[in-house]
């Protein structure tokens, strides 16, 4: 199912604006050590913020046949710890 952010007391958008920086898809592909690309996906009635914690997740989020609007952010790993289950997914940090 993947890893998603779900901050308490604020929206995903507010969290990403405060803790992340907007990036391009190309920058998402080359995430530096200690940071993860997060894709804010607009699903019509709601948004989801998926963490691209490995190349499989990144490939799923960048499929050409997916027409949904997306905004990419780079977020430090430590900022994701309290708003997601990233510690269960991120193999490069173990």
pLDDT digits (tens, 9 = 90+) for 15-67: 999 999 999 999 999 989 999 999 999 999 999 999 999 999 999 999 999 99
Q: How far apart are CA 39 and CA 91, in angstroms?
A: 19
Is the pLDDT at 93 greater than 60? The verdict is: no
Taking the C-alpha atoms of residue 55 and residue 79, their distance in angstroms, rounded to an integer, is 21
What does the longest C-alpha to C-alpha distance in the chain come to?
Answer: 36
Determine the Cα–Cα distance for residues 23 and 84; give it in Å rounded to an integer. Answer: 20
Model pTM?
0.91
Measure the CA–CA gap between 9 and 53, rounded to whole angstroms. 24
């Amino acid at each position: 199912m993947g890893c998603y952010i779900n901050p308490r007391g604020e929206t995903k958008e507010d969290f990403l604006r405060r803790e992340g920086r907007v990036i391009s898809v190309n920058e998402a592909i080359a995430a530096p050590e200690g940071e993860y690309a997060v894709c804010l996906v607009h699903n019509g009635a709601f948004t989801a913020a998926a963490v691209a914690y490995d190349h499989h997740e990144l490939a799923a989020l960048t499929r050409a046949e997916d027409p949904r609007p997306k905004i990419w952010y780079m977020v430090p790993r430590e900022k994701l710890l309290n708003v997601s289950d990233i510690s269960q997914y991120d193999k490069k940090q173990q």
